[in-house]
Structure 1
Amino acid sequence: MRREIATWLDERPDERLTVVSACAGQGHDLVGVLAGRADAHRVRATLLEYDAGNVTAARTAAAQAGLANILVEPADAGRLSSYAGAVPADLVLMAGVFGNVTEDDVRRTVAALPQLCATGATVIWTRTRKSPDLTPALRGWLRAAGFVERAFHAPDGVLFAVGVHRFAGTPRPLDASGVLFTFVR
């Protein structure tokens, strides 16, 4: 995941960029990449996280790394209202989401991604490949929603996959009344 974020940043050296991270946890992926970059100041990011302990840890990590442009919001990323003011984004991170929600919620979230994306945005996502492996269907749903696959990493012997898709469709306005997903406990 971090390698893909770094590659994405490297491909856009002169741009001011916006990032939104759903279910950001402690912010390790994005903060971990930005902390070591001299150009981190050009990225404005919103990390959405429901767990208060993770919110505190992500805020601490961002502050310790000197990343003043990272906002960590205590919010339910499964509700579209949580994205108001943070989208459209140039990069949408969906790490740890698609493996923790129902198939219907994965499909609904993918269909709603054009509401979160700016023109030409990139979505980086993760998903387990344990049975039943939903990654082939997920990749198809992304294509149907207007995304072009840039990379799919699913090494042999590892159940974890990382996908990178570029949005080639037309962004849609945010319908803040909608629900994307509910985590399965």
Structure 2
Amino acid sequence: MDWQKWHDRYDAPESPLAWRLGVVQDRVRAALDAAPPGPLRVVSLCAGQGRDLLGVLPTHPRREDVRARLVERDPANVATARRTAAALGLPGVEAVTGDAALLDHYADLVPAHLVLLCGVFGNITDADIERTVEACTQLCAPGARVIWTRHRKAPDQVPRICGWFENRGFVREWITPGDRVQSVTVHRFTATPAPLQRGTRVFDFVGYDRLTRTSRQPGPDGRTVRAAGGATP
């Protein structure tokens, strides 16, 4: 997959991803507006080119308060994020090439005030989604917001993911209408942060296309059954 070229979809006005990006940026803006005074810590997992945050921060009054880390495996997208942050005069934004599933990447920036999980949950298994939600209790400061995305294609897992968050001390603060294929949700953390479990890897980035191909396979009687591991398209 050419992930840098994949980001071109965000530039097509009719693209569902362009719509989703606009919604995410609105929620990022609102989260920064509502954040407490003083330094603000932001972490973004599988950050791509960093458009979720970099599309908001330059004109936001809290721009000087923000220290952010964008973790992304694709080096070309990381290079794009670094160039953009530098061009926009945002020295507090750091783009890192690495596996975003490794909690060690966030050790000096958590608990954070804002956690971005955009474009993640549609590309990992259900079990890994739940593990990532659990990890958010380590990444979030009290009152922190998690902005996350997930498609609503059948079977719609958004309600189930909401339940995983809400069983762990998160309160649902905002969600897109259920008739939109691309869903954006904001959860606010109301509990006490758990200690960061360094050395932990919380998910494998499988990819939506691969999940779609492998989530169902023929059973002994020729019927289609769900594959082991609970992968969901």
Q: Is the TM-score greater than 0.5? A: yes
After superposition, the CA RMSD in angstroms is 1.2
For the residues of structure 2 that align with 1:121 and 1:39, how far apart are their CA atoms? Answer: 16
Per-residue CA deviations over 1:122-149 (Å, capped at 9, x if unaligned) read 1000001111111010000000111001
1:1-150 equivalence runs, <5 A: 1-12=24-35, 14-150=37-173
* Residue aligned with 2:94, SS: strand
Q: Which gives a bigger RCO, structure 1 or 2 (Cα 8 Å, sep 6+)?
A: 1
1:161 aligns with 2:183: yes
* Residue aligned with 2:200, SS: coil
For the residues of structure 1 that align with 2:158 and 2:49, how far apart are their CA atoms? Answer: 25
Mark the runs of 5 or more structure 2 residues left unpaired by the alignment.
Answer: 1-23, 208-233
Could you say which residue in structure 1 is the equivalent of 2:206? Answer: 184
Counterpart AA for 2:164: W
Contact 2:35-2:113 at 8 Å conserved across structures: no
Q: 1 or 2, which has the higher helix percentage?
A: 2
Per-residue CA deviations over 1:85-144 (Å, capped at 9, x if unaligned) read 221101000000111000000011111111111121110000011111110100000001
Q: Compute the TM-score of the two structures, normalised by the length of structure 2.
A: 0.76
Q: Compute the TM-score of the two structures, normalised by the length of structure 1.
A: 0.95
Contact 2:68-2:93 at 8 Å conserved across structures: yes
CA drift at 1:155: 5.2
Mark the runs of 5 or more structure 1 residues left unpaired by the alignment.
Answer: none
1:165-176 equivalence runs, <5 A: 165-176=187-198
Counterpart AA for 1:152: I
Q: Number of aligned pairs?
A: 184
* Residue aligned with 1:35, SS: helix
CA drift at 1:184: 1.0
Q: What is the aligned-residue identity percentage?
A: 47
CA drift at 1:37: 2.2
* Residue aligned with 2:29, SS: helix
Counterpart AA for 2:183: A
Contact 1:77-1:83 at 8 Å conserved across structures: no
Counterpart AA for 1:21: S
Larger Rg: 2
